[in-house]
Structure 1
């Protein structure tokens, strides 16, 4: 995979537009995020390793492809990452799940960690880190650093929206981590929010603002 993949599938783009609209209700926003995460999951898991398994169909035996190696790990950057996590788990229910608690200091725009719990044997798994917004990139880069310190070697980052500043920050800090997103927006505003964006993803998911 290249460092950046923008998923331009019509269903992805249509659902993203609905999510951007200010009048979209919280419940609808959550449902759209779940649906779009499943579509994005097809792209981020495209290169999962496969092996052959001998099976019996109703008519004849055959060698058929199945996933190989250890079960992948999904790591959500709390809290908004859980919106993407839930949808992907519906497609890959056997995945191991981890959580990284980070919040952005509104004055410094730097990440502050408050929780870290991930599956074992990260070095033997594909690790998909999920967070709807790649804005400044500081929290995302910090999360990936923590995962590497925990042994992860094969990491991908999945987000709904990305800003050029966040993409550049991630590429500088972790050039080995591919990014999959539905759109790259114009810029960040003075408060570090993606423009035109869709607002605060966590607040819109949970109706907290």
Structure 2
């Protein structure tokens, strides 16, 4: 699908398989989620612009590239998006953070916002929305809607897994937002969970029900 990148790197696929297993511990789930976040960060930032700067090595003067422009903004969707984003922050520790608190209303599956805090100059930065799953896409759509309202115009979405329904809906509503995923699964069940999926990412990250 246009605008969708499936990251098939063996390390990503291996760790995703471990993450899916129902009997892994909460500790292992958190660690794997963070590790995959780091690996996916390589992919979503692959085309960041570079500019040569003058530096001194221990032996010589040279020009060498570094990332150009304003710092990135990572925008994790609470809760599980925070651990996912932690792996990315290990690679880009200077990134700004926008927190987007959303929960899924259990009857209608609509996304309800309870918290939003972001840098004031989103219009000048690349914003990477981070959410472990793209099921109905209600939360992802709501997050991007809110960021655009605050001026963001260069947005990318990173998820672990997606359902075809969610990917299609996200692309239909926000075709300007490219998506990176580790896998697209079979579809959604009656409770709007991805099948075969990995369960509720927030509950599995924090050991809650």
Deviation readout 1:80-135 (Å, 9 max, x if unpaired): 11121111001000000011111111111111111110112101100000010100
CA distance in structure 2 between the partners assigned to 1:145 and 1:46 by the alignment: 25
Matched, 1:144 2:141: no
Matched with 1:50 is 50
Matched with 1:202 is 202
CA distance in structure 2 between the partners assigned to 1:119 and 1:165 by the alignment: 31
Matched with 1:96 is 96
CA distance in structure 2 between the partners assigned to 1:116 and 1:198 by the alignment: 26
CA distance in structure 2 between the partners assigned to 1:119 and 1:12 by the alignment: 30
Report the CA distance between 1:59 and its aligned residue.
Answer: 1.2
Deviation readout 1:115-161 (Å, 9 max, x if unpaired): 11011210110000001010000110011010001000100000111
Matched with 1:29 is 29
CA distance in structure 2 between the partners assigned to 1:166 and 1:152 by the alignment: 22
CA distance in structure 2 between the partners assigned to 1:54 and 1:48 by the alignment: 19
CA distance in structure 2 between the partners assigned to 1:77 and 1:106 by the alignment: 17
Matched with 2:83 is 83
Matched with 1:125 is 125
CA distance in structure 2 between the partners assigned to 1:65 and 1:165 by the alignment: 41
CA distance in structure 2 between the partners assigned to 1:189 and 1:126 by the alignment: 34
Matched with 2:155 is 155
Unaligned ranges ≥5, structure 1: none
Matched with 2:169 is 169
Q: Tell me the TM-score normalized by structure 2.
A: 0.98
CA distance in structure 2 between the partners assigned to 1:95 and 1:50 by the alignment: 16
Aligned-partner SS, 2:98: strand
Matched, 1:186 2:189: no
Deviation readout 1:1-51 (Å, 9 max, x if unpaired): x51000000000000000101101100010011111100000001111111
Instruction: Give the ranges of 4+ consecutive aligned residues of structure 1 lying more than 3 Å apart after TM superposition.
Output: none
Matched, 1:60 2:60: yes
User: RMSD in angstroms over aligned alpha carbons?
Assistant: 0.7
